Structure 1
Amino acid sequence: MPTLRIGLLIGSLRAGSFNRQLADAVRTLAGDRFVFEEIGIGELPLYDQDDDAAFPAAGLRFKQQVEACDALLFVTPEYNRSIPGVLKNAIDIGTRPGGSNSFAGKRAAIIGTSPGAHGTVSAQQHLRNVLSAVDLAVLPQPEIAIQYREGQIDADGNVSDERLLKRLQLFLDRFEAWLAA
């Protein structure tokens, strides 16, 4: 079986993003199980239905990248108990214009980290609702909503926290098995 290509959508644009650190850790831990391709969302224009007739080039590139992947991994922070607007905008662009849903029928997983006591529990629940509406099947378990702590993940994507390391390894094992099923 060829190595699966996983589209990586990171919901934070911040240069020092905790979620980018988490995505790097997952890439490092995954080794050669998957080929990860980051799909950037920062340069997408705000979705405007008036642009459907002449869809923006950045939107078309985004849709092509999503379509080229076997599955997707959403790595999201939590902003005000929900997902970042930039991530929701990317999802909207991926489903437009009408009749051209680039997410339809794909599989996905969600993970995330935030300094709040509950990590990204609320954001992930909202994201699950949105992804269900755009015909993405989402890995049901394990939920990986991490309370960010300084030093858990180093600059090279190595996880120093043993408990977090075990959770991420479990996540990768389940994601791989679910995609193979």
Structure 2
Amino acid sequence: MPYNRVDVAMRELIASFSCLEPAELADRLARTAAAVTGTAYAGFVRVDALRHEARSIHLYAPPGDPLRVRRWLAESGVLKELAAVSVTLRLARDPSMGEPGFLATPVPVAAWDHTFVWVAGRGFGDGDEHLLSRFATAAGRALEASSGLEAAVRLLRGVRAFRPA
């Protein structure tokens, strides 16, 4: 088969756009949110467009989940609270009641309605809220860029598939 410059160029472009996996990006972002705020827990929650239901779309936690945040998220009602609000939500830490301390802020992502990044595991203050809000903006840009690259890959594969031989 002769060297085909177009095939090589398309293959290289698709490979470079495909190097970022959405699940890996969400994990990296959650891990970094936890590190930035000095916690061991972080994740993302997406609320449906009608604001009836919120669901966890990614959770980063230490092995064994010592604060049992995974269970707390499912049972505490915090997801219902996130479904009802469109602003930052801060809940105090109260170990005697099993409250780990929680901070969630909206992620400005045009492609997805009502997404929050959250951190948990200690008491949070105004400085943490500001820091997480700034991080949420960067995370939103990264998620949108990732989504745009995925769409570009699909389009490029279509161009490659229908290109005349």
Return the structure number with greater helix share: 2
Return the structure number with greater strand share: 2
Pick the structure with greater CA Rg. 2
TM-score by shorter chain over 0.5: no
Instruction: Please report the TM-score for the alignment, with normalisation by the length of structure 2.
Output: 0.29
Instruction: Please report the TM-score for the alignment, with normalisation by the length of structure 1.
Output: 0.28
